[in-house]
Structure 1
Amino acid sequence: MSQTLDTSASAEDITKPRDSLDRRLHGVLHRMPALSPLVVLVIACVVFAVANPRFIRPENLSILLQQAAVVGSLAVGQTLVILTAGIDLSVGAIMVLATLVMGKLAFGGMPDVVAFLIGFALAVAAAFLNGLLVTRIKLPPFIVTLGTLSVFTALALIYAQGQTITLNPGTFLTWSGTVIPIGRFGLTVGVLMMLLLYIGFAYALRQTAWGRHLYATGDDPEAARLAGVRTSRVLLSAYVVAGAVIGIAAWILVGRINGADPNAGLNANLESITAVVIGGTSLFGGRGVVVGSLIGALIVQVFDNGLALIGVNPNYQVLAVGVLVIVAVAADQWIRSVKS
């Protein structure tokens, strides 16, 4: 008895992608980009807790969260820009300049609220300048923000004149540094402000038209334009809103150090990018969740804190973070390259 071969069925079976483990893993990571950094964070916490029990003491965890508050806040603004396939190398410099303006004006006798509003407006204006150069003159974001990084850093140093401003605790500007004791655990207002930023922008990115347009512009600007999205306006809004977030981060930094210091936040530019990349947001735009940036900021602080507690040379701490960034970018490339 001869059997008839179903040619069409055989061809379909041959060409149908195999539901292999790597394809399933790819699908999960594509749908939940914050999953892999969350796993890394949990594993790192377990390892450091076993290596040195001091790591999980409430006092140490309090310090860890307070250290993450500034970079974690900056990472919110950085996430908005990177989701549009851009990058902002000047966020830390803008923040430091804003803190100096707030601090010096308040120290000179201006009401704290007015000093804050002027510094906040300066941060928004600086980010608006970045956005204009990117959207109107069509310069690459990397080149624009690399240039403004030097400009804002120089302005901060010139304005500070080598001075460090110390403010009295308990004022409006230093309110963000107020500690809320929870047993032996100390939670600052600045940490709560950072968490509120993440909650607010997680909602805005997923539940509003502006958030959907931001993702669409970063994923495929031409397709978004043809669909009716005003991509230039969306890009400009990403920088402006990021500037507002930087202004809040400046307030958190003033509260954390009880003043303003031109040398504070020297590495905040790269640390914010590191947090966003480790958190699963793609440098190519259009993919990522803002909560991943919070996880990324915590990972950086956990590694710095944990490695210091077990006595690792600080140079190896920097090395560990660098390896994490490379692995995160490589993982993003793999997720994008595998055909779904």
Structure 2
Amino acid sequence: MTTATAEFEVRQRDSLGLRVQHVLHSNPVLGPLAVLIVAIIAFSIVNTRFFSAVNLSLVLEQVTVIATLALGQTLIILTAGIDLSAGAVAVFSSILMANFCVKAGIPGILALVLGFACGTAMGAINGMLVTRIKLPPFIVTLGTLTIFFSLNSVISGSQTVRGTDMPSLMSWTGNAIPIGGFRLTYGSIIMLLLFAYFFYALRSTAWGKHVYATGDDIEAARLAGIRTHRVLFSVYTTAGLLYAIGGWILIGRLASASPNVGTDYNLDSITAVVLGGTSLFGGRGSVLGTLIGALIVGVFRNGLQLAGIEVVWQGFAIGLLVLVAVSLDQWIRKVKT
């Protein structure tokens, strides 16, 4: 091979890599979507039970709560922030809803509204500390993570409230609509509707454009007339409401309100966002990618379990995926526009 031929092949490879880089920069959902499709095909070959309607409905049920929390997490990460209290807010909201009904005797619909209001207030506290006190989001949410989990133990007395002790509305999200062999829970329907709404809101509203602008360059956004403090506060507050809705879905999923769940929800929600192609540096990503990221986590865990892989190696595989996703994001961000 001549020197000229070798140089030509190198230029061709560089050109191909640059084109791929530009495509992934313009369409960050393509990478996660390709991973999801390949994973589904691979696990279907390894175990034919994987692609059954019963198993696929189980995968969707398993990712519903995490996907809802990851939706709120996406809004925050798009602004270059992070929320380590997502799981704590969701679990605490579910405990408050259950105890409003059981201990205070409040009707189900009112308990639900109060639970949503409390979740929203917890998100607003995070937003206030970030925007008014100007504390780093990581420090703020690390602190409120501990506070909310501690209050959770105090309010619940470390006792689980069974679904049979609560009004049927509280566990309604766990009911399912049979579609052939597939079971679609009302919780999954709520989750999908939330994703559809925020997909529209981020793409087609001024608020959504301000969220992206704030995450891309907060100082440039401020100079352009965007009230970045209000945008950040609205994002954390909205995320709190989404976490509370996730808490309601969690009650339906478990048929109870337990204070002993959710220890992994924070990292799982961040994992779903990162795998979905949303940049941890803000300003790039989509909620559609987050939904795909949550499905990737569910598909990998379910597929590896059916393949007989031990739980510790399932976690290893998910962690490896996160490292690959972050490395890919770093590479994509170097694209020259």
TM-score, normalised to structure 2, is 0.94
Q: In the alignment, does 2:96 pair up with 1:95?
A: no
Cα contact 1:170–1:178 (8 A) shared by 2 = no
* SS of the residue 1:187 aligns to: strand
Letter in 2 for 1:147: G
Summarize deviations over 1:311-332 as a string: whole Å, max 9, x none.
0011000000000000010001
Partner of 2:319: 322
CA separation in 1, counterparts of 2:308 and 2:253? 26
Q: In the alignment, does 2:290 pair up with 1:293?
A: yes
Question: Which moves more between the two structures, 164-173 or 293-302?
Answer: 164-173
> CA 1:261/1:233 → structure 2, altered by over 3 Å: closer, same or farther?
same
Correspondence list, 1:14-29, <5 A: 20-29=15-24
CA separation in 1, counterparts of 2:102 and 2:167? 14
CA separation in 2, counterparts of 1:106 and 1:39? 45
Partner of 2:55: 60
Partner of 2:132: 136
> CA 1:241/1:194 → structure 2, altered by over 3 Å: closer, same or farther?
same
> CA 1:267/1:41 → structure 2, altered by over 3 Å: closer, same or farther?
same
User: 1:47, CA displacement in angstroms?
Assistant: 0.5
Cα contact 2:101–2:167 (8 A) shared by 1 = no
Summarize deviations over 1:278-332 as a string: whole Å, max 9, x none.
0000000000011100000000011110000010011000000000000010001
Partner of 2:228: 231
Summarize deviations over 1:125-169 as a string: whole Å, max 9, x none.
011000011001111000110111111111111111120001238
CA separation in 1, counterparts of 2:107 and 2:218? 44
User: 1:107, CA displacement in angstroms?
Assistant: 2.1
In structure 2, the gaps of 5 or more residues are: 1-12
Cα contact 2:173–2:186 (8 A) shared by 1 = yes
CA separation in 1, counterparts of 2:163 and 2:113? 17
* SS of the residue 1:181 aligns to: strand
Letter in 1 for 2:145: L
Partner of 1:334: 331
Cα contact 1:107–1:167 (8 A) shared by 2 = no
Partner of 1:263: 260
In structure 1, the gaps of 5 or more residues are: 1-17
Partner of 1:307: 304
Correspondence list, 1:20-59, <5 A: 20-59=15-54
Partner of 2:278: 281
CA separation in 1, counterparts of 2:301 and 2:14? 39
Letter in 2 for 1:115: A
Cα contact 2:86–2:266 (8 A) shared by 1 = yes
CA separation in 1, counterparts of 2:313 and 2:163? 35
Larger radius of gyration: 1
Question: Which moves more between the two structures, 40-49 or 164-173?
Answer: 164-173
Cα contact 2:32–2:293 (8 A) shared by 1 = yes
Q: In the alignment, does 2:155 pair up with 1:152?
A: no
User: 1:19, CA displacement in angstroms?
Assistant: 7.9
Letter in 2 for 1:72: A
Q: In the alignment, does 2:238 pair up with 1:241?
A: yes
Q: Name which of 188, 205, 208 aligns with 2:205.
A: 208
User: Among the aligned pairs, what percent are the same residue?
Assistant: 55
CA separation in 2, counterparts of 1:253 and 1:162? 17
Partner of 2:81: 86
* SS of the residue 1:172 aligns to: helix
Cα contact 1:99–1:253 (8 A) shared by 2 = yes
CA separation in 2, counterparts of 1:91 and 1:298? 18
User: 1:264, CA displacement in angstroms?
Assistant: 1.9
Cα contact 1:77–1:243 (8 A) shared by 2 = yes
User: 1:29, CA displacement in angstroms?
Assistant: 0.5
CA separation in 1, counterparts of 2:263 and 2:178? 29
Letter in 2 for 1:126: M
Partner of 2:192: 195
Cα contact 2:158–2:260 (8 A) shared by 1 = no
Question: Which moves more between the two structures, 158-167 or 168-177?
Answer: 168-177
CA separation in 2, counterparts of 1:66 and 1:21? 39
